[in-house]
Amino acid sequence: MSPRSQNVLDYPNEHTVFLVWKFKDGPDASEAFRKVSALVINLNKSADVRFPDVKASVVMGIGHDAWLNLGLPQPLPKELHPFTPIAGGKHTAVATDGDLHFHIRSAKQSFCIDAAYNISAILECAADCTVEIHGFRYWDSRSILGFVDGTENPTGESRAYFGMVGDEDPIYKGGSYLFVQKYLHDLKAWRSLPESEQERVIGRSKGYDIEMPDDVKPSNSHSALANAGDDRKIVRDNMPFGNVTSNEMGTYFIAYASTFSTVALMLTRMFVGEPEGNYDRILDFSTPHTGTLFFVPTFDMLSDFGG
């Protein structure tokens, strides 16, 4: 039988809650992890029955250190390791700790809030929540910078090919590498640019989301550097978030991939540059404050963990 994968291939929804948890020192982590693994399965089954039309789901990822400390199966997924910073001459993709990551999606915000509450009720005695982001769909799937986000996402059958582990790592087939970054944007600086210059930073038209021809698109544009080629894609599920009065507006970058090396190549192209020094100009307006790698096991493995 094929492994039952978590909902990593679902498309972005109207509402999202992202949670990152870090286990405290003490004996309670294993029992809390067992309970939350079972809860994730329960929440997804319940959503399928109760809310079949709102495309609600909860995806749980596990970090490298937690995988070891919880005594989960060995060997580890081939590319699961602590993320290390990727530093360019001007900008750095920072690395931050995280043991568990939850990606909660729904067309109804109520589901996201209730799911996050139930997860927190189990984990709060054994772990600290280090990141809580409430994302929202902005117009026609645009980032808060005003440009459509995710145009290069794979579709159809290729979505599974690029988003989930295949036969190259049979123990973890159907799982997925999950990488996340919390970006904050300097919107005042960004909005001071004329639209034509914003388009040169992104490499696409703002209104109609049309990619610039190669002989026009700047080599340091986002679309030129964040794309590692048609044979090396990832499944992005980015969401805008923010607080207007505090001017903390941003994008939660979230990537599901069959190999983390694909994500690492994209980050290197963006932060170090291609060639070196020709970094992604969007980084002059967007700063990552987190960066963590997780692995998303199949539902079958979660069932074993929660048994």
Q: Domain residue spans in the chain? A: 15-305
Judge whether residue 41 has pLDDT over 80. yes
Structure tokens at 137: 């769909």
Long-range contacts of 29-34 (CB under 8 A, 24+ apart): 29/66, 29/69, 29/70, 29/126, 29/127, 30/70, 30/71, 31/126, 32/122, 32/123, 32/125, 32/126, 32/127, 33/66, 33/70, 33/100, 33/126, 33/305, 34/305, 34/306, 34/307
Cβ neighbors of 29 (< 8 A, separation 6 or more) are 23, 66, 69, 70, 126, 127
Q: What share of the chain is helix, strand, coil (3-state, %, to 5)?
A: 30, 25, 45
Structure tokens at 127: 């772990």
Q: What is the mean pLDDT of the chain?
A: 96
d(CA 10, CA 56): 9
Contact at 8 Å (CB) between 148 and 141? yes
Quick one: pLDDT at residue 87? 98
Quick one: pLDDT at residue 125? 96
Q: Which of 149, 186, 230, 237 is catalytic?
A: 149
d(CA 27, CA 238): 35
Judge whether residue 185 has pLDDT over 90. yes
Q: Torsions phi, psi of 156, nearest 5?
A: 60, -145
Structure tokens at 131: 């990141």
Tens-place pLDDT, residues 73-97 = 999 999 999 999 999 999 999 999 9
Quick one: pLDDT at residue 213? 96
Quick one: pLDDT at residue 267? 98
Partnered with residue 185 across adjacent β-strands are 286
pTM of the model: 0.97
Judge whether residue 298 has pLDDT over 70. yes
d(CA 262, CA 268): 10
Question: What confidence category does residue 26 fall into, taking pLDDT thresholds of 50, 70 and 90?
Answer: confident
Quick one: pLDDT at residue 247? 82
Residue bearing the bigger pLDDT, 192 or 27: 192
d(CA 173, CA 184): 34
Active-site residue, 231 included: no
Partnered with residue 211 across adjacent β-strands are 204
Question: What confidence category does residue 1 fall into, taking pLDDT thresholds of 50, 70 and 90?
Answer: low
Tens-place pLDDT, residues 234-276 = 999 999 999 988 889 999 999 999 999 999 999 999 999 999 9
d(CA 30, CA 33): 5
Question: What confidence category does residue 136 fall into, taking pLDDT thresholds of 50, 70 and 90?
Answer: very high
